[in-house]
Amino acid sequence: MTNRVVITGFGVVSAIGNSPEEFWQGLKAGKTGIGPLDRFDAEATGISVAAQVKDFPFDKYFERKDARRMDLFSQYAVHASLDAMAMSGITEDNTDYDRLGCIMASGIGGLGQSQKNSQALLKGPKKVAPLYVPLAIANMGAGNVAMRVGARGTSRAEVTACAAGANAIGSAFREIKHGYADAMIAGGCEAAICELGIAGFANLTALTKETDPSIACRPFDKNRSGFVMGEGAGVLILESLEHAQERGATILAEIVGYGCTNDAFHMTTPSGTGAENAMKMAMAEGDIEAEDVDYINAHGTSTHANEETEAKAIHNVVGDKALVSSTKALHGHALGATGGIEAVATVLSLMNQYAPVNAGTTELDDDMTINVVIGQGKEAEINVALTQDFGFGGHNAVLAFKKWADA
């Protein structure tokens, strides 16, 4: 016997909003959160834009001492998780916290800590911060959330590059489906907008050198030129249907399938077959036919390598009926956090029957034989939605959601 799994809460930190309400308004407005990269001088890299979190409400959940013991990526994770928990209504009065778990992803962890302490090491080993390691390691997003909430169940980190956030949610789904947990906090977090992060991706020629924020990220456009670095966190609260109903929770959506594959092909270049297989896997688990899929929140990084293979995969698996958009044009590519942020966007699409715009894109590449939402978002009947994320190392993750029937 397996359990049905539902979504009862979500939280987000992003370039278009640091609360569920702000994020939804950002999606609806379709106005990009990408702007000038002003956190440090990046002129030598040729990169001038980023999707930076603005006005992060640190004081809502933290005291000044927390900043010394928690890197920014962990702060983002804790903030989004506490917002999600508040929305869900889960408390120790209605939930066994030994069966409440946390799987939190990060592609890189505390990269800024690594940069800062590498510079300190040049002055001698004693200059490296005593807390450098626990501040920087990627599992501390999960660890800090679990400690702050008191979640004593299944706990781990997913570190699969840009697929990590979706992998975390998929893993949490399986934990509940197969009876290992009653509820899970799951998503991704990242804070890699630092000199080392920008220089690394710039030298890989993955980042755009476009200076106009409004068109810097334009997924599926024939003139796309690379991704825009983002940051933040996206978190869902997943529960077994039985547990949610027993405590009278408001159910927002249902998660019904998860596909997880590897291309086994190349370090950074996708094969396309792995993405197709992950889509098919998620759809099969959710008993979803090609014609059932109404909306896909695409990986859509605004790079030629990704969109050529992703568009082909979408066309091969579901055809050209489903609405497709990449919300990265709004909130940037947040690496390990992006799967969590986009899962939140997908749940909001189901709740509000709305497909967000694929911002920045004006002229589809000739090879894009899919139904991309251009110009403005669309009100639409959305009963089934996929969100998909792919990462360096050939990692592919696809999540399948359904509109909650009683919503």
**Catalytic site residues?**
162, 299, 333
Residue 189 has φ and ψ, to the nearest 5°, of: -145, 150
Nearest CA to 276 among 322, 311, 303, 305? 311
**Two structure tokens written together for 404:** 């909650």
In angstroms, the CA 172 to CA 315 distance is 29
Widest pairwise Cα distance in the chain:
62
Decide: 263 and 397 in contact? Cβ < 8 Å: no
Would you give the end-to-end CA distance of the chain in angstroms?
Answer: 26
Residue indicated by tokens 């859509």: 300
Distance CA 343, CA 163 (A): 12
Q: Single out the residue of 271, 329, 278 nearest to residue 305, CA to CA.
A: 271
What gap in Å lies between CA 23 and CA 236, rounded to an integer? 14
